[in-house]
Chains A and B, each alone.
Chain A
Amino acid sequence: KQEVTQIPAALSVPEGENLVLNCSFTDSAIYNLQWFRQDPGKGLTSLLLIQSSQREQTSGRLNASLDKSSGRSTLYIAASQPGDSATYLCAVRESNTGKLIFGQGTTLQVKP
């Protein structure tokens, strides 16, 4: 059974810091991996999607990497801003079922 774990569960940093969020998954048979942002009481915003054959994706200050063989992904946020404060969710899409399995999320607070 696929399990997705995110570390840390919560993170508080001063504005301007670069930071890394970690995601690990137990079954490497994935179709792709996706990082989402969720603001309190809101739905999900897709940030980056990495196909299983890719190593990384970049969008603005965000960079996500994928090491499928070791079951790991990282989300790198450069020059963090207070507006980045949110919960970040990692999810993998299983190859055999197509289901999206979510991690528990990392709640980020960027202090001005």
Chain B
Amino acid sequence: GAVVSQHPSWVICKSGTSVKIECRSLDFQATTMFWYRQFPKQSLMLMATSNEGSKATYEQGVEKDKFLINHASLTLSTLTVTSAHPEDSSFYICSATYGRVYEQYFGPGTRLTVT
């Protein structure tokens, strides 16, 4: 149980375009979802926290107009990287939790490469 999926697993896009990444909780209703970014050989950095039906809370230094997060249902959150640039190339990982913030279940990640 507690499986989280991400789609796509990898994506290549041209600079200036936008790309959407989906995060789904497959067998539970996720009250809260988290988006992380991981640069090569670095740890995971929390980008934002989203609760179903409300606006996401962004961490300091993360541009909310560039990284659009939508948590429209209890099983789906999306991250849209708008006007992507090569420096946005990274590994994006989502996680989800339900009930109390007890344990987060992580997705397999999405590798974004912006050329």
Contact = CB atoms under 8 A, between A and B. Distances in A.
Nearest to A31: B101
A85 B101 CA distance: 30
Nearest to B59: A99
Contacts of B93: 43-44
Contacts, number: 41
A82 interface: no
Given A31-B101, A98-B101, A99-B49, A43 B42 contact: no
Interface residues of B, number: 21
A5 B46 CA distance: 16
B27 interface: no
Contacts of B107: 43
Contacts of B101: 31, 93, 98
B63 interface: no
B44 interface: yes
A110 interface: no
Contact of A100 (B6, B104, B109, B111): B104
Interface of B: 6, 34, 42-46, 49, 91, 93, 95, 101-109, 111
